[in-house]
Amino acid sequence: MQLYDIRSYGAVGDGKTDCTNAIQKAIDDCAAAGGGTVAVAGGRYLFYPLWLKSGVIIDVDASAVMLAGTNPELYPEVPENPYWNVLFALRHNRRYVFYAQGAKHIGITGHGKIDFQGLAFVDPDPNVIPGEGRWKRFSDTMVPGRSIFFVGCEDIRLEDITLVDTAGGWFSWLLDCTDVVVHGVTMRADVRMPNSDGLHLGSCRNVMVSDCNFQCGGDDCIIIRSMQEQFTTPRPSENITVTNCVMRGGKWASAILIAWTHDYAIRNCVFSNLIVKGVHELLGIHAPDIAFSESKDPPRYPDTPEPPPISPLEIENIQVSNVVADVDHLLLLEFDDETEVAFTRNIRMHNIQAVCTCWPLIRVQPQHNVSDIEFSDISMELRPAPNEPDQTPRTFYGVPGPFLDCPHVRNLTLNNFRYLGMRK
């Protein structure tokens, strides 16, 4: 496979010279020749947004650091295109660091580091206590909202790379992508960083995530959604495996978050062999309704058009197993009363050792059609919530209640669920 050394194109690894044009030219030549590897050798390379193309793998040497620039004026918006409706960019932000659309056989690999220099886009207030608050961005829109943003792509590899301090939003957003491998990736952000989601899979199919280390600051580690607003027809997320990962985050975060407002079908997902600490829930399944939810998320703007017809949410065949966790909830499953849900079924949590501040919570209504929820071989110990040393076991944000108070669930199975008592 042909190798394209960015230094041959004029890139200088001094951490000061803008190497964007040199790296992009290497990518363009590599793609034009039918594909190959763009090699980032030892050094520190300053760059601004890069557009990946079919057949191109960016490989970052172990002694190399790619430094995303800190001037927000140099981060363009994704233009209108046939792959997705940019007017429904989440949080009205369609800026990026790495972008690709409609590409095949692409990737970012290597044992080096990509530093997105996210501290340049927030006010790192020393008075914000880790775990108790999050820093404020200088702007929601004049920041690169996604560090790695691939749309409508096929055969993606993210391997062995270390990603640090996502700039103004998520580490990654893979939207309508197929055949994805994420292996040996580290994502690391301060717990006070806002919206520093890790791996965000929207309407993706056939995904394998393994041997990764997520420290995603103040937000979720892995998010699986099935977007509808961005497309003319709904597209499912399905056939997703996550295994052998460490997940850490803040008090507002999920290790695994499934669904959100206006999502479609999410099915056939397996999560296994995980160590999880510090997040709010091991598995969160949420679908607020934008018209009724207090969060009003995703937010609307004056130029946001009316969404296309929205199909009801479908969730099925979700399995979480072989986990050691220190979290608030094992499971937090809740829908707004007005959220249209066709069904949520076949959710299985198996072989889990957990220390929690709350009982699992399932807060749904009969019209949500929730059924076939199973907890098997669970050992759970309760502990007081932070800063609440006298708090008794609780179900949701300090509201006391009985264990698994969920009258609207059909076929709930508890098989060898052991409650080990309250930790002193």
**pLDDT (mean) for 225-248:** 95
The mean predicted confidence, pLDDT, of the chain is: 91
**Which structure tokens are listed for 243?**
């295994």
Stretch 52-56: mean pLDDT: 98
What confidence tens digit (pLDDT) does each residue in 334-388 have? 999 889 999 999 999 999 999 998 889 999 999 999 999 999 999 999 988 765 5
When comparing pLDDT for 57 and 297, which is higher?
57
Number of domains forming the structure of the chain: 1
Give the distance from CA 375 to its chain's centroid.
25
Three-state secondary-structure class, residue 186: strand
What per-residue string of b and e applies to 362-374 under the rule 16 or more CB within 10 Å gives b?
A: bbbeeebbbbbbe
Confidence of residue 300 (pLDDT cuts 50, 70, 90): confident
| Predicted confidence (pLDDT) at residue 7 exceeds the cutoff of 70 | yes
Question: Tokens 């140099």 map to which residue?
Answer: 74
Confidence of residue 398 (pLDDT cuts 50, 70, 90): very low
Q: How far is CA 353 from CA 356, 385, 414, in A?
A: 10, 18, 15
Q: What is the pLDDT of residue 45?
A: 98
Report the pLDDT value the prediction gives residue 292, as an integer from 0 to 100: 60
The mean pLDDT value for 194-206 works out to 94
- Mean pLDDT within 123-150: 89
Does the CA dihedral 95-150-121-305 come out positive or negative? Answer: positive
Q: CA 134 to CA 125: how far, in whole Å?
A: 9
Whether the predicted pLDDT of 261 surpasses 60: yes
Percent of the chain at pLDDT exceeding 70 = 94
100 confidence band (pLDDT: 50, 70, 90)? very high
The confidence band for 78, taking pLDDT boundaries of 50, 70 and 90, is: very high
Q: Which neighbouring-strand residues pair with 240?
A: 207, 269
Which CATH number does the domain housing residue 240 bear?
A: 2.160.20.10
- Whether the per-residue pLDDT at 401 is higher than 60: the answer is no
Residue 255 pLDDT > 80: yes
**What's the confidence (pLDDT) of residue 129?**
83
396 Cα distance to chain centroid: 23
Residue type at 211 in one-letter notation: D
- The range of the structural domain enclosing residue 62 comes to 3-422
Residue 130's alpha-carbon distances to 3, 116, 194, 254, 399, in angstroms, are 43, 21, 12, 17, 24
Burial class (CB in 10 A: 0-12, 13-18, 19+), 167: buried
Q: Find the length of the chain.
A: 424
Pair type for strands 43-47 and 64-68: parallel
Residue 414, pLDDT above cutoff 90? yes
Cα–Cα distance list, 234 to 237, 309, 318, 365 (Å): 10, 9, 20, 25
Q: Give the pLDDT confidence score for residue 179 in this predicted structure.
A: 98
